Amino acid sequence: EAGVAQSPRYKIIEKRQSVAFWCNPISGHATLYWYQQILGQGPKLLIQFQNNGVVDDSQLPKDRFSAERLKGVDSTLKIQPAKLEDSAVYLCASSPQGRSYYGYTFGSGTRLTVV
Amino acid sequence: GESVGLHLPTLSVQEGDNSIINCAYSNSASDYFIWYKQESGKGPQFIIDIRSNMDKRQGQRVTVLLNKTVKHLSLQIAATQPGDSAVYFCAENLDGYALNFGKGTSLLVTP
Protein backbone atom coordinates (compact mmCIF):
# COMPACT_ATOMS: atom_id res chain seq x y z
CA GLU A 1 0.00 0.00 0.00
CA ALA A 2 1.42 3.37 -0.98
CA GLY A 3 1.84 5.85 1.83
CA VAL A 4 0.84 9.48 2.14
CA ALA A 5 2.71 11.46 -0.50
CA GLN A 6 3.79 15.04 0.07
CA SER A 7 5.67 17.53 -2.06
CA PRO A 8 7.92 19.34 -2.14
CA ARG A 9 10.20 17.87 0.55
CA TYR A 10 11.95 21.17 1.17
CA LYS A 11 11.14 24.79 0.41
CA ILE A 12 13.00 28.00 1.20
CA ILE A 13 11.23 31.31 0.63
CA GLU A 14 11.59 34.88 1.70
CA LYS A 15 9.13 36.42 4.12
CA ARG A 16 6.02 37.88 2.51
CA GLN A 17 6.25 35.39 -0.37
CA SER A 18 3.63 32.72 -0.92
CA VAL A 19 4.07 28.95 -0.90
CA ALA A 20 1.92 25.89 -1.50
CA PHE A 21 2.22 22.32 -0.31
CA TRP A 22 0.58 19.28 -1.83
CA CYS A 23 -0.66 16.06 -0.25
CA ASN A 24 -1.96 12.86 -1.76
CA PRO A 25 -3.49 10.62 0.94
CA ILE A 26 -3.71 6.87 0.97
CA SER A 27 -6.28 5.68 -1.53
CA GLY A 28 -9.72 5.42 0.00
CA HIS A 29 -8.91 7.42 3.13
CA ALA A 30 -11.79 9.77 3.75
CA THR A 31 -10.15 11.95 6.37
CA LEU A 32 -7.16 14.19 5.74
CA TYR A 33 -5.25 16.33 8.22
CA TRP A 34 -2.62 19.04 7.98
CA TYR A 35 -0.30 19.49 10.94
CA GLN A 36 2.39 22.06 11.64
CA GLN A 37 5.47 20.86 13.51
CA ILE A 38 7.82 23.52 14.78
CA LEU A 39 11.33 22.32 15.59
CA GLY A 40 11.46 20.61 18.97
CA GLN A 41 7.70 20.40 19.35
CA GLY A 42 4.96 17.92 18.64
CA PRO A 43 2.70 18.31 15.61
CA LYS A 44 -0.18 20.76 15.95
CA LEU A 45 -3.35 20.32 13.95
CA LEU A 46 -4.10 23.05 11.43
CA ILE A 47 -7.09 21.66 9.56
CA GLN A 48 -9.06 18.46 9.14
CA PHE A 49 -11.10 17.41 6.12
CA GLN A 50 -13.73 14.70 5.88
CA ASN A 51 -13.97 13.94 2.17
CA ASN A 52 -13.98 17.45 0.68
CA GLY A 53 -15.59 19.20 3.65
CA VAL A 54 -13.79 20.98 6.50
CA VAL A 55 -14.40 19.37 9.91
CA ASP A 56 -12.07 21.52 12.02
CA ASP A 57 -10.03 24.57 11.06
CA SER A 58 -10.09 26.32 14.42
CA GLN A 59 -6.26 26.37 14.64
CA LEU A 60 -5.67 27.57 11.09
CA PRO A 61 -4.44 31.20 10.88
CA LYS A 62 -6.99 32.12 8.27
CA ASP A 63 -5.54 35.54 7.54
CA ARG A 64 -2.59 33.87 5.81
CA PHE A 65 -3.24 30.12 5.59
CA SER A 66 -5.74 28.41 3.33
CA ALA A 67 -6.38 24.80 2.42
CA GLU A 68 -8.61 22.92 0.06
CA ARG A 69 -9.40 19.37 -0.81
CA LEU A 70 -11.14 19.35 -4.12
CA LYS A 71 -12.89 16.10 -5.09
CA GLY A 72 -12.12 14.67 -1.67
CA VAL A 73 -8.71 13.29 -2.62
CA ASP A 74 -5.61 15.50 -2.96
CA SER A 75 -5.18 18.55 -0.80
CA THR A 76 -3.15 21.75 -0.96
CA LEU A 77 -2.12 24.02 1.89
CA LYS A 78 -1.13 27.58 1.04
CA ILE A 79 0.56 30.33 3.00
CA GLN A 80 0.32 33.90 1.76
CA PRO A 81 2.17 35.96 2.86
CA ALA A 82 4.67 33.88 4.81
CA LYS A 83 6.20 35.02 8.08
CA LEU A 84 9.43 33.93 9.74
CA GLU A 85 7.47 32.05 12.40
CA ASP A 86 5.92 29.86 9.72
CA SER A 87 9.23 27.99 9.43
CA ALA A 88 8.28 24.42 10.32
CA VAL A 89 7.59 20.99 8.92
CA TYR A 90 4.11 20.66 7.47
CA LEU A 91 2.79 17.14 7.85
CA CYS A 92 -0.15 15.62 6.08
CA ALA A 93 -1.92 12.60 7.52
CA SER A 94 -4.89 10.53 6.46
CA SER A 95 -7.15 7.96 8.02
CA PRO A 96 -9.84 5.70 6.57
CA GLN A 97 -12.54 7.06 8.82
CA GLY A 98 -12.98 10.06 11.06
CA ARG A 99 -11.87 8.45 14.30
CA SER A 100 -8.17 7.90 14.83
CA TYR A 101 -8.94 4.44 16.23
CA TYR A 102 -8.77 3.32 12.66
CA GLY A 103 -5.25 4.49 12.15
CA TYR A 104 -3.50 7.62 11.14
CA THR A 105 -0.74 7.49 8.53
CA PHE A 106 1.62 10.43 8.21
CA GLY A 107 3.57 11.61 5.22
CA SER A 108 7.23 12.59 5.48
CA GLY A 109 6.35 16.28 5.51
CA THR A 110 7.49 19.44 3.79
CA ARG A 111 10.20 21.40 5.58
CA LEU A 112 9.59 25.12 5.09
CA THR A 113 12.23 27.69 5.87
CA VAL A 114 11.23 31.36 5.73
CA VAL A 115 14.16 33.77 5.58
CA GLY B 1 -5.32 24.74 29.14
CA GLU B 2 -5.36 21.00 29.12
CA SER B 3 -2.48 19.40 27.31
CA VAL B 4 -0.39 16.30 26.83
CA GLY B 5 3.19 16.59 28.05
CA LEU B 6 6.30 14.56 28.64
CA HIS B 7 8.36 14.35 31.83
CA LEU B 8 11.81 14.18 30.22
CA PRO B 9 12.95 15.90 27.05
CA THR B 10 15.93 13.55 26.50
CA LEU B 11 16.76 10.00 27.50
CA SER B 12 20.06 8.21 26.98
CA VAL B 13 20.25 4.43 27.39
CA GLN B 14 22.77 1.75 26.60
CA GLU B 15 22.11 -0.77 23.90
CA GLY B 16 20.39 -3.80 25.34
CA ASP B 17 18.89 -1.98 28.30
CA ASN B 18 15.18 -1.32 28.69
CA SER B 19 13.85 2.19 28.06
CA ILE B 20 10.92 3.87 29.72
CA ILE B 21 9.42 7.03 28.29
CA ASN B 22 6.76 8.79 30.33
CA CYS B 23 3.87 11.03 29.45
CA ALA B 24 1.34 12.94 31.52
CA TYR B 25 -2.04 13.98 30.26
CA SER B 26 -4.56 16.26 31.85
CA ASN B 27 -7.78 15.68 29.91
CA SER B 28 -9.74 13.07 31.81
CA ALA B 29 -12.10 12.77 28.83
CA SER B 30 -9.37 11.38 26.55
CA ASP B 31 -10.23 7.82 25.65
CA TYR B 32 -7.49 6.80 23.29
CA PHE B 33 -3.73 7.21 23.32
CA ILE B 34 -1.02 6.55 20.77
CA TRP B 35 2.75 6.44 20.90
CA TYR B 36 4.62 7.60 17.82
CA LYS B 37 8.27 7.35 16.83
CA GLN B 38 9.73 10.06 14.64
CA GLU B 39 13.10 9.73 12.98
CA SER B 40 14.91 12.68 11.49
CA GLY B 41 13.35 13.82 8.23
CA LYS B 42 10.36 11.51 8.52
CA GLY B 43 6.80 11.75 9.64
CA PRO B 44 5.61 10.20 12.91
CA GLN B 45 5.33 6.42 12.76
CA PHE B 46 2.71 4.52 14.75
CA ILE B 47 4.17 2.30 17.49
CA ILE B 48 1.34 1.21 19.73
CA ASP B 49 -2.00 2.43 20.98
CA ILE B 50 -4.22 1.87 23.98
CA ARG B 51 -7.83 2.62 24.82
CA SER B 52 -8.88 4.04 28.14
CA ASN B 53 -10.63 0.82 29.15
CA MET B 54 -7.25 -0.94 29.24
CA ASP B 55 -4.29 -0.67 31.62
CA LYS B 56 -1.64 -2.38 29.56
CA ARG B 57 -1.01 -3.38 26.01
CA GLN B 58 1.97 -5.22 24.57
CA GLY B 59 3.48 -5.25 21.14
CA GLN B 60 6.75 -6.49 19.77
CA ARG B 61 9.40 -5.28 22.28
CA VAL B 62 7.08 -2.44 23.35
CA THR B 63 4.57 -2.12 26.16
CA VAL B 64 2.26 0.77 26.91
CA LEU B 65 0.95 1.28 30.41
CA LEU B 66 -1.96 3.55 31.25
CA ASN B 67 -2.68 4.79 34.76
CA LYS B 68 -5.92 6.70 34.64
CA THR B 69 -5.85 7.50 38.34
CA VAL B 70 -2.82 9.76 37.93
CA LYS B 71 -3.32 10.40 34.21
CA HIS B 72 -0.01 8.89 33.24
CA LEU B 73 1.10 6.97 30.19
CA SER B 74 4.39 5.19 29.65
CA LEU B 75 6.14 3.42 26.81
CA GLN B 76 8.53 0.63 27.65
CA ILE B 77 10.99 -0.59 25.04
CA ALA B 78 12.71 -3.88 25.82
CA ALA B 79 16.31 -4.55 24.79
CA THR B 80 16.74 -1.13 23.23
CA GLN B 81 18.58 -1.13 19.93
CA PRO B 82 20.43 1.63 18.04
CA GLY B 83 17.55 1.74 15.57
CA ASP B 84 15.27 2.84 18.40
CA SER B 85 17.05 6.19 18.58
CA ALA B 86 14.42 8.77 17.66
CA VAL B 87 11.97 11.25 19.15
CA TYR B 88 8.96 9.65 20.78
CA PHE B 89 5.61 11.39 21.11
CA CYS B 90 2.53 10.45 23.00
CA ALA B 91 -0.76 11.71 21.63
CA GLU B 92 -4.26 11.70 22.99
CA ASN B 93 -7.46 11.44 21.06
CA LEU B 94 -9.95 14.18 21.61
CA ASP B 95 -13.49 13.87 20.35
CA GLY B 96 -12.53 10.88 18.23
CA TYR B 97 -10.90 12.92 15.53
CA ALA B 98 -7.70 14.94 15.71
CA LEU B 99 -4.78 14.03 17.93
CA ASN B 100 -3.23 16.27 20.59
CA PHE B 101 0.53 15.70 20.71
CA GLY B 102 3.01 16.29 23.49
CA LYS B 103 6.42 17.85 22.90
CA GLY B 104 8.37 14.62 22.56
CA THR B 105 11.26 12.78 24.21
CA SER B 106 14.49 12.25 22.37
CA LEU B 107 15.83 8.72 22.92
CA LEU B 108 19.52 8.15 22.31
CA VAL B 109 20.84 4.61 22.35
CA THR B 110 24.56 4.31 22.99
CA PRO B 111 26.69 1.24 22.22
Residues within 8 A of A (CB atoms), B 73-92 only: 89, 91
Q: Which amino acid, B109?
A: V
Contacts of B100 in chain A (CB under 8 A): 45
**Chain CA centroid to CA A65, Å:** 11
* Residue of B59, B50, B45, B34 lying closest to B87 (CA atoms): B45
At residue B7, the pLDDT reads 47
Could you read off the pLDDT of A95-114 as tens digits, one per residue?
A: 887 565 666 899 999 999 99
Whether B40 and chain A come into contact, CB under 8 Å, resolves to: no
Whether A41 and chain B come into contact, CB under 8 Å, resolves to: yes
Query: Residue B46: which of A41, A42, A103 has the nearest Cβ?
Result: A103
Could you read off the pLDDT of A46-59 as tens digits, one per residue?
A: 999 998 899 999 99
At residue B72, the pLDDT reads 93
Q: Residue B49: closest CA among chain A residues belongs to which residue?
A: A101
| pLDDT higher than threshold 60 for residue B5 | no
| pLDDT higher than threshold 80 for residue A2 | no
**Chain CA centroid to CA A67, Å:** 8
Contacts of A55 in chain B (CB under 8 A): 97
Outline where chain B has alpha helix (H): none
